[in-house]
């Protein structure tokens, strides 16, 4: 299997779930730590720190979303769907169904057009 930070290859259910779990736990831990460090200061310095914290939070959120996008596309490849189906996650209600499919549907056994079986 290739790198986790590419759209090539496939990703099985367990690795997909673990990547999403780890990315989200780390992102929320960073948000939590930033919140504790800043507190609720009303001073000018507190406002400046809040702005810096917001920027750091934004960057962490973008990075987490990119890593999750790589994982989703690789998981889609494992169930023989094109990576463009990633955009279907933007459709309300259908996104819930697709997310459940990505978590629970077994991948294609053996090699498919996106690569070798990640369980092989």
The Cα 19–Cα 35 span in angstroms is 24
**Is 77 a domain residue?**
yes
The Cα 74–Cα 80 span in angstroms is 10
Does the pLDDT at position 78 exceed 70?
yes
**Is 29 a domain residue?**
yes
What secondary structure does DSSP assign to 79-99, as a single string? TT--GGGGGGGGSTTHHHHHH
Tell me: the pLDDT tens digits for 13-54?
A: 999 999 999 999 999 999 888 877 766 555 555 566 667 777
**Is 61 a domain residue?**
yes
Does the pLDDT at position 8 exceed 50?
yes
**Is 117 a domain residue?**
no
Question: How many domains does one find in the chain?
Answer: 1
**Mean pLDDT, the chain, as a whole number?**
85
The Cα 72–Cα 86 span in angstroms is 7
Domain of 89, in residue numbers: 13-104
pLDDT for residue 44: 57
**Is 46 a domain residue?**
yes
The burial class, CB within 10 Å (0-12 / 13-18 / 19+), for 112 is middle
pTM: 0.81
pLDDT for residue 1: 41
Between 39 and 72, the more confident residue is 72
**Is 119 a domain residue?**
no
Distances (CA, A) of 48 to 53, 54, 116: 9, 10, 50
**Is 38 a domain residue?**
yes
Q: Dihedral sign, CA of 11, 20, 68, 89?
A: positive
Does the pLDDT at position 99 exceed 50?
yes
**Is 113 a domain residue?**
no
pLDDT for residue 7: 66
């Amino acid at each position: 299997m290739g790198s986790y930070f590419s759209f090539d290859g496939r990703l099985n259910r367990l690795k997909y779930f673990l990547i999403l779990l780890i990315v989200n736990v780390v992102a929320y831990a960073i948000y939590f730590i930033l919140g504790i460090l800043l507190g609720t200061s009303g001073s000018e310095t507190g406002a400046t720190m809040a702005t810096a914290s917001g920027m750091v939070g934004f960057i962490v959120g973008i990075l987490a979303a990119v890593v999750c996008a790589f994982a989703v596309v690789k998981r889609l490849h494992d169930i023989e769907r094109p990576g463009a189906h990633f955009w279907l996650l933007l459709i309300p209600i259908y996104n819930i169904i697709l997310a459940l499919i990505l978590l629970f549907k077994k991948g294609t056994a053996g090699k498919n057009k996106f690569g070798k079986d990640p369980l092989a």
